[in-house]
Amino acid sequence: MESERYKKSRWRRTFDAIDEAPFAARQFLDAHARVREAAWVGVAIVVLLFGVSSLVLPLPDGTARPPFAKMIGLGALIALVIKLAPRSPLGVRFHEWVVGPGLWVYFTYEIAAVVTTFGAERRALTYGIFLLFAMAHYAVFRGTFWPTLFSGVASSMTFLLTAWVHRFYSEPGFLQVGMYFVAMQLFGIATCFYGERHERLLYLTSRELEYEKSKAETLLLNILPKAIARRIRIGDEAVADSHAAASVIFIDLVGFTRLAESMPPARLVDILRELFLAYDALAEKHGIEKIKTIGDAYMAAAGVPIPCDDHAARCAAFALDVRAATADYRQRSGLPLYTRIGIHSGPLIAGVIGGKKMIYDVWGTTVNVASRMESHGQVDEIQITADTKELLGTAYAFSPGHTVNVKGLGEMRAFLLEPRAATASAPRAAA
């Protein structure tokens, strides 16, 4: 189970590959905007604080001005790389290993260069700004542990190398700044380690919630049509629609009741499951909305909940395929199971009833007549009304009309449906 697989990884610092890839992708998207903004802001701060001050403040005698133009150009290049990183798979994959250390080393070198430029009386200020940049790096970048550790080591080496080259390691206060720098590095790396663990726990929680939400939505879609489920999710408590034109089909499994008297319950359920799963697949194929099953009877409709002009044709094609699928099962299993199908077209009401056990159902005379077409029909035949026949036109063949006495409505004309090019692909039951 997916949730159990997550729990096995809950206290690990890394996930299995199936979880690590989406986590890394999400972390990249979350961190990229912050890092990109930090890069531009950092370049701007360097320009304002050090570029302008170096032009205004006097330098000690014999001291060359730092190469700010090169620094700014390099910073702009790094910012451009960060901006283009999402467009490259390599940029996404190696973002933390390249961008984070690159930014850290860049700012370390810039500020160290400024430290060597200004006199001792101004170095306290630049040391403070340097440590501020260091803290800001860990606060903004918030990378994962190993890239962050690599970034800290790289920046420390840059700082020490700059101090060695410019020989300001022997000045008063440098040891104290170095200790602050090391402590800040350790604190920043530890913060990233526990921050990553927290992010992973949040990720696991969000995936758990998504998994449970997906199960709930799947269950809801197994009960209700997608369009109806969407309306209920947005707060439509009274779902009731009037449809001016739709078709309703009833399918009865003839011979099942007799089998039920002699078969074990488990075998009976397996038979129904196999047949009704086949009917469900055919309903989805033809755009039919399954309404419900009642015992060994199957009820469906076309034109609800989304209206369509070819609802009668959909029901007709569905009925023929259901009859063929049942005949195929009869040949494979040797069980004497047949269908008796009735279809009627007309207006109806559709909606959701129930609270704890909701159901999408249809009501109206059209439903009652379709039920009568089935119950007064013939075994292994598809009986339709004159209204449905008129909608089908010449696409199908029909038997000569006959009269069916419908309770409450009197006599109605009915017809037996056949495909235009009917073939005896399976044995038919006697009428």
Residues 6+ apart with CB under 8 A from 97: 147, 150
In this structure, are 48 and 193 located in the same domain? yes
Nearest alpha-carbon partner for 416 in 398, 390, 396: 398
R_g (Cα) of the chain, nearest Å: 38
300 and 167 in a common domain:
no
Q: What is the pLDDT of residue 11?
A: 47
Q: Are 46 and 159 part of one and the same domain?
A: yes
Is 431 within the bounds of a domain? Answer: no
Give the model's pLDDT for residue 14: 60
- Using alpha carbons only, what angle is made at residue 32 by residues 26 and 37, rounded to the nearest 5 degrees? 150
Q: Could you tell me which residues come within 8 angstroms of residue 160 by beta carbon, excluding any fewer than 6 positions away?
A: 169
User: What gap in Å lies between CA 370 and CA 251, rounded to an integer?
Assistant: 10
Write phi, then psi, for 338 (nearest 5 degrees): -130, 170
Q: For position 409, what pLDDT does the model report?
A: 81
Q: What is the pLDDT of residue 422?
A: 45
- Residues 84 and 339: their CA atoms lie apart, in Å, by 63
**Which pLDDT does position 25 carry in this prediction?**
65
Q: What is the pTM of this model?
A: 0.57
Say whether both 65 and 197 belong to one domain. yes
Instruction: Please report whether residue 222 resides in a domain.
Output: no
User: 203 and 243, same structural domain?
Assistant: no
Do 326 and 212 share a domain, yes or no?
Answer: no
Of 166, 183, 216, which marks where a domain is finished? 216
Among 216, 250, 277, identify where a domain stops: 216
Residues 268, 355 within the same domain: yes
Alpha-carbon gap, residue 51 to 45, rounded angstroms: 9
Three-class SS state of 258: helix
Query: Are 301 and 396 in the same domain?
Result: yes
Same domain, 305 and 381: yes
Q: Which residues contact 57 (CB under 8 A, 6 or more apart)?
A: 118, 122
CA dihedral over 227, 230, 236, 239, signed as positive or negative = positive
Q: What pLDDT tens digit does each residue of the chain (431 aa) get?
A: 444 444 444 445 566 666 666 776 666 666 656 666 666 666 666 666 666 655 665 555 555 555 666 666 766 776 676 666 666 666 656 666 666 666 666 666 666 666 656 555 555 666 666 666 666 666 666 666 777 777 777 777 777 777 777 676 666 667 777 777 778 778 877 877 777 777 777 777 887 888 888 887 777 777 777 878 788 777 777 788 899 999 999 999 999 888 888 888 889 999 999 999 999 999 999 999 999 998 889 999 999 999 999 999 999 999 999 999 999 999 999 999 999 999 999 999 998 887 677 788 899 999 999 999 999 999 999 999 999 999 998 889 999 888 888 887 888 999 999 886 544 444 444 43
Asked if residue 48 is part of any domain, the answer here is yes
Domain of residue 109: give its range: 2-216
- Give the model's pLDDT for residue 1: 44
Q: At what angle do helices 95-117 and 120-141 cross, to 10 degrees?
A: 170
3-state secondary structure of 406: strand
Angle at 16 between CA 10 and CA 20, to 5 degrees: 90
The CATH number that applies at residue 280 is 3.30.70.1230
Rounded to whole angstroms, how far apart are CA atoms 180 and 136?
A: 15
* pLDDT confidence of residue 271: 92
Give the model's pLDDT for residue 240: 83
Residue 39 lies in a domain: yes
In a domain, 307, yes or no: yes
Question: Do 340 and 403 touch, CB atoms closer than 8 A?
Answer: no
Give per-residue burial for 321-349: e unless 16+ CB within 10 Å, then b. bbbebbbebbeeeeeebbbbbbbbbbebe
Q: Is there a domain that residue 428 lies in?
A: no
Nearest to 342 by CA among 311, 294, 289, 379: 379
The DSSP string of 229-250 is: HHHHHTT----EEEEEEEEEEE
In a domain, 224, yes or no: no
Distances (CA, A) of 252 to 65, 374, 384: 94, 7, 14
Do 327 and 185 belong to one domain? Answer: no
Question: What is the domain count for the chain?
Answer: 2
Which stretches does DSSP call E strand in 213-354?
Answer: 240-254, 289-294, 297-302, 338-353
* Domain identity same for 115 and 264: no
Q: Is residue 359 part of a domain?
A: yes
Residues 115 and 184 in one domain: yes
